[in-house]
Structure formats: C-alpha cells, structure tokens
Amino acid sequence: VEQSSRDEALLNRFIVNIHGSLDLADIVDRATQSLFEEFNATRAVICQLSEPENIMRIARQCTRNDQAAISDKSTIFGKYHDLLLDVGERRPLVVVQDDTFAFARDVRAEMQIYHIRSMVMVPLMYRGRLTGLIHLDEKRETRLWNTRDINILVRIASQLSIALSQAKLYQIVEAQSNSISKLSELC
C-alpha cells in the first residue's frame, strides 16, 4: 500500500509537471528531467518519430556528469523501432547486457560503448500510433527493472503521449490563428 501510494505520487508529480505547458520543447525537457530524477537513472532519453522520414530521433536526454550522451546516430532506438514494427505489439522492452535474445545481441556493442548495463524502453503511443519512446538506462549496476517500474513507466508514457499531442495541436491552432489574423489585416 505504501509503495502504491508512492507510485501514485510520482505519477501525479509527473502529470502536473508535463501538463503545465503547451510548448513542445518545454514538455520534452520537463519530462526527461523528471524521469531522470524520479527513477535515479544514469541516462534518460526521450525520442520522437520524425515525419515523414519515420525515423526515431533523440528529442532530449539527461545524463549523469560522468556519462557520455548517446549519439543521435546510435542504432539502439532505430532497432527498437524496427522491432516494434516487426512484432506489431507495442510493449516495453528490458535489456540486460548479458541477454542473448536477438535484439540484445544486435545492440550489445552499443550498450558497451555507452556503458549500459541494463535499460528499459517504453513506446509512446497516441491513438494506436507509435510517436516515440522513453529510454532509461543504468551504468552503475545491472538494474532489474521490475514490474512496478515498468507499469509506472507505461502510465507515464501514456500521459506524455497525450501532452505531446496536445502541444502539437496547440501549435497547429496557433499557426492557423496567426494566418487568419494576417489575412484579416490584409483584407
């Protein structure tokens, strides 16, 4: 009961933090920083799917002082995107450096380059469509991302997807409003 209460408090802090803005960059910054601090991870990354290229791009990342940032050229996020497309299911993925399943073997070299001992990736979904992902990793020890962590990250991903979609919609409405204002002035 105590842990459940802490989880709900974490989720509420996150929701208040990200829904406090309609600026896309601000939401991504707030979300990344919040994930980094709340989960005490070595690195927190939020990727967004760029359109029309349909490529996973790092939108923002936070790292510990002694940790190098992941390059935008890293194959970890692209391979996860490919895996999601191949499997068809949008599930979180936990990878430990010693894992032997296909995806883990494909990204092992990158994990070693970035000193990742374990990581969790959660897809960002909005209206059944993949829009990005959340990535947290651990360098200090092999962290076993438990069911509780994954469940709260799935709920956070859901809220983040909504906030990002609202911000994009707001940008569209604001741009149209500005266009209408300019047309009115011309008329």
How would you write the pLDDT of the chain (187 residues) with one tens digit per residue? Answer: 888 888 888 888 888 888 888 899 999 999 999 999 999 999 999 999 888 888 889 999 999 988 889 998 898 998 998 888 877 668 899 999 889 898 999 999 999 999 999 999 999 999 888 999 999 999 988 888 889 899 999 999 999 999 999 888 888 888 788 788 777 787 7
Cβ pair 61, 35 in contact under 8 A: no
User: Residue 174 has which token pair?
Assistant: 């604001």
* Cα 111 from Cα 133, distance rounded (Å): 17
Which pLDDT score is estimated for 33? 94
User: Which pLDDT belongs to residue 111?
Assistant: 93
The owner of tokens 């994009």 is 168
Cβ(135)–Cβ(154) below 8 Å? no
The DSSP bridge pattern shows strands 55-63 and 43-50 to be: antiparallel
